[in-house]
Amino acid sequence: MSPLGTRPRGAATANAVAGSVEATVELDLVVKGGTVVTSGSRFAADVGIRDGKIVRLGDGLEGAELVDAANMLVLPGGVDMHVHLTPAEVAEGTFAWADDFLSGSRAAAAGGITTVGNMTFPRPGEGLLGALERTAVEAESIVDFVLHPVLLDATEDAIAEVSLLPAHGHRSLKIFMVLTGFDANAEAFLRAMQEAGQAGVLTLVHCEDGCLVSYLAQKLVSEGRGHASNYPAARPVYTESVAVSRAVAFSEASGAPIYLVHISSRAALEVAHEARARGLPVYVETRPDYLHYTDEKLAGADAALYTGVPPLRSEDDRRALWAGLATGAVQTCCTDHAPWLRAQKLDPAVDVSNMPNGLAELDIMLPLLFSEGVVSGRLSLERFVEVTATNAARLFGLYPAKGTVAVGSDADLVVWDPQASTTIRAEDAFSKADYSIYEGWEVKGVPRYTISRGEVIFAEGEIRADPGRGRLVWCDSVAAL
């Protein structure tokens, strides 16, 4: 049923022909001498790989190829279920993020991420399944990927497609409460969410109140306060928390599980946490910039460089998100990678009502979270793995093929050097974004090798993968957390 996990026969044959495979061992690749870390354990083991899957964990394994992991950690590759990569063809006049699937997936691989989930927008007149099929063909990803169809218009036709998604290997649906079409047709979106829940599809919800953020932005512009330095006033915390309250109520009314993308504030997190405490299937994602910066960065002339939706928040919010990651109130950290060029961000013609929001995070999310989380003592190694790989894999129906290091799982691994330090430079990144908000940050802990279904796709700073080798992942039934 799943298209995953079977390596092209040609690749396996090539390795066998290359020689040195003992008939009794028959391993294509061994990741040797490292410490394997999963969400629940850590142990010294070689990882033996054949046909793209982990087939053995143990001592003294030999294979056709070796990756030396001495003094390294061997982690499941990151599972980042929130990216915005531009498909190959973009209609005239529509905006496009700086990264396509090729550059974005190279950034992912260099950053230790082996599976991405892309927000997939139908074109005018195109259905959900049509958008998914087109994007799957266009995507030249080098890592495996999931496609989340975006429900822009909750038409009867689109709602009817929701229940068909699982039969095509899709288990997710994205809704933007912030878009003006949401309030105008909220009852239809609620029915779509109900259909999703009944079909075993997880609804991702962008929680900001569209009416409020539109009203506030227009008000600021009309007062001559449209500059990005007024961005926090355009989208204050209450515009997020009120939307989270409503999304939770939608979940409660419909019985549908919901995944709240990019939660940024203590108030929003508390609403979600209270819902979870009552047993509602509500899951929380946060994003790197909220962990590493506060709204201080939105005060200056270059504020626009730091804008995503929702905006950076206070130090108290930042602390709440770190605490949530550590204690379990936040289930995943994903990038929401939505990169732009510096000139686009700083275009004097844009204001708080229409600015290009989003940040480049794929190259650096894991090193930053490791450095600021694990090295700084905020997160255990196991928890790091859980929030960057295992939980997302479980929630989106990818586990145990993805999100863990176990016999039978896909050999999606990152060999992590916990001692090495590096300085973040946009010019070193594989993303096409030409700046990084983290320029000059020193981080400790870097990916040395990234392995996708048994193929080393990133090694010692270089990408070693052909465009399009990544596959659309078939999502099986989603798990509750």
Residues contributing to the site for Zn ion (CB under 5 A):
336
Nearer to Zn ion, 94 or 421 (CB): 94
> Closer to Zn ion at the Cβ: 10 or 95?
95
In the complex, minimum distance from the CB of residue 288 to Zn ion, in angstroms, rounded to a whole number: 13
CA 391 to chain centre: 12
Are the C-beta atoms of residues 389 and 75 closer than 8 Å to each other? yes
Give Cα separations from 288 to 93, 229, 327 (angstroms). 30, 20, 17
User: CB 185 → Zn ion: shortest distance, Å?
Assistant: 21
Instruction: Rank residues 134 and 337 by Cβ distance to Zn ion and give the closer one.
Output: 337
Phi, psi of 286 (to 5 degrees): -125, 180
Query: By C-beta, is 85 or 443 nearer to Zn ion?
Result: 85
Beta carbon of residue 336, minimum distance to Zn ion (angstroms, whole number): 4
Angle between helices 266-277 and 315-327 (to 10 degrees): 30
Rounded to a whole number of angstroms, the minimum distance from the CB of residue 443 to Zn ion is 24
**Residue with nearest beta carbon to Zn ion:** 336
Lookup: tokens for 100: 């396509």
Q: How far is the CB of 358 from Zn ion (least distance, A)?
A: 7
Cβ at position 469, least distance to Zn ion in Å: 25
Whose Cβ is closer to Zn ion: residue 46's or residue 336's? 336
Q: Do the Cβ atoms of 387 and 333 come closer than 8 Å?
A: yes
Nearer to Zn ion, 209 or 336 (CB): 336
Nearest 5°: the CA angle 440, 304, 423 is 10
Q: Is 5 left (phi over 0), alpha (psi -120 to 50) or beta?
A: left
Between 100 and 336, CB nearer to Zn ion: 336
Q: Which residue has the tokens 């239809």?
A: 188
Distance CA 149, CA 129 (A): 8
Q: Which residue, 336 or 361, has its beta carbon nearer to Zn ion?
A: 336
Helices (H) and strands (E) in the chain, counts: 16, 17
C-beta of 231 vs 449, nearer to Zn ion: 231
Cβ proximity of 316 and 267 under 8 Å: no
Nearer to Zn ion, 361 or 455 (CB): 361
Q: DSSP class of residue 373?
A: I
Q: How far is the CB of 291 from Zn ion (least distance, A)?
A: 16
How far does CA 275 lie from the centroid of its chain? 23
In this structure, what are the phi and psi dihedrals at residue 290, rounded to the nearest 5 degrees?
Answer: -70, -20
Least CB distance to Zn ion at residue 243 (A): 14
Report the nearest approach of Zn ion to the CB of residue 119 (Å): 6
**39 within 8 A of 331, measured Cβ to Cβ:** no
DSSP 372: I
Per DSSP bridges, beta strands 144-149 and 113-120 are parallel
Q: How far is the CB of 81 from Zn ion (least distance, A)?
A: 10
- Taking each helix axis as running N to C, give the angle between helix 237-254 and helix 186-199, from 0 to 180 degrees, rounded to the nearest 10: 50
Provide the pairing of β-strand 65-68 with 29-37.
parallel
> For residues 288 and 282, is the Cβ–Cβ distance under 8 A?
no
End-to-end CA distance of the chain: 25
